[in-house]
Amino acid sequence: MSYGMLIDLTLCIGCKGCQIACKQWNDLPAEKTTFNADWSNPPELTARTWKRVGHHLVQKGDKLVWRFVPQACMHCNEAACEAACFVHAFYKTPEGPVLYKENLCVGCRYCMVACPFGIPKFEWDETFPLVRKCRMCYERIADGQQPACASACPTGATLFGRRDELLAEARNRINTNPGKYVPHIYGEKEAGGTSVLYLSDVPFHELGFKTVEKGEIPAEPIPSFSDRIVRWTLPVAATWTAVLGGLYWYTKRRSEVEESFKRQNSPQDNGEGS
Ligand code: SF4
Ligand code: SF4
């Protein structure tokens, strides 16, 4: 059964309860940060902030209105991060979350290049850095609970459930509230579909979303792009293996020759000792 989240931006009041709940549940430390020009804080996702709420001042009719956008991993149905990762550290679970096996990661960061939403972040300041992102609270879901962000939301803006039921709910909200929403469920088709879905009353591109209409993101899954990365990755890895193997053989052989030369020219071997 595949789960997801429906984030109704008309209900979000920007309280950041979801952002804080994510920090608490995942035991993520606070970090020194700055206010963005739009007063959101932090200005972008980091390795220690897996969920953030963006602020957007947009024109709606003849009024300027604030809209708030909780942002985290979209948990793509066919994840580009997974396709790009040649050691298979990223994987899509049947339950919906896209997870990461840190013990397999070699730190190549192809996942970061491949992700169309710019989600995975690297622990640049760690001695043994890893890639970090939202895990949709997989353990909570397995335990029959909802993700921490959905649980904390005081307005019901973040709804957790089965993806097919969330899609039906989103369609129902659009159909039963004519004129309230833009007639589009973000994440239904983007990048081949995602487990996280959004509803909005202003066009998504005005809220910083990459859209199919503007050619910023395909409606098809991204893995075809990632495949190209992997096709490059394997020859590069093979070349490096060959180069390093050659260097190893050369260094080893040189040591052997030097040892042999020393032995042949040592006073003992020449009968010049004692
Ligand atoms: S949003 Fe990015 S990191 Fe998340 S599943 Fe999709 S490709 Fe992977
Ligand atoms: S907790 Fe709910 S209302 Fe508050 S910022 Fe997050 S989604 Fe919006």
Q: Could you tell me if the CB of 72 is within 6 A of ligand 1?
A: no
Task: State how far the Cα of 209 lies from the Cα of 186, in Å rounded to an integer.
Answer: 9
pLDDT at 187: 98
Per-residue buried b or exposed e for 155-178, using 16+ beta carbons within 10 Å of the residue's own CB: eebbbbbebeebbebbeebbeeee
Q: Which of 81, 194, 197 to mutate to test the pocket of ligand 1 (most atoms within 8 A of CB)?
A: 81
Beta-carbon contacts of 51 under 8 Å, excluding residues fewer than 6 positions away, are: 18, 19, 22, 45, 70, 71, 72, 134, 149
Specify the residue for token string 């093979």: 238
pLDDT at 38: 86
- The rounded Å distance from CA 211 to ligand 1 centre is 16
Check pLDDT > 70 for residue 268.
no
Q: Could you tell me if the CB of 76 is within 6 A of ligand 1?
A: yes
Q: How confident is the model at residue 224 (pLDDT cuts 50, 70, 90)?
A: low
Q: How confident is the model at residue 183 (pLDDT cuts 50, 70, 90)?
A: very high
- The rounded Å distance from CA 98 to ligand 1 centre is 7
> Rounded to two decimals, what is the model's pTM?
0.82
Handedness of CA 214, 11, 221, 50 (dihedral sign): positive
pLDDT at 267: 53
For residue range 41-52, list pLDDT tens digits in order.
999 999 999 999
Atom of ligand 1 lying closest to residue 194 CA:
6
Alpha helices in 26-145 (DSSP H): 80-84, 110-114, 138-142
Q: How confident is the model at residue 39 (pLDDT cuts 50, 70, 90)?
A: confident
* Average pLDDT estimate for 75-81: 97
Q: Could you tell me if the CB of 96 is within 6 A of ligand 1?
A: no
pLDDT at 266: 60
* Least confident among 60-64, 216-220, 244-248: 244-248
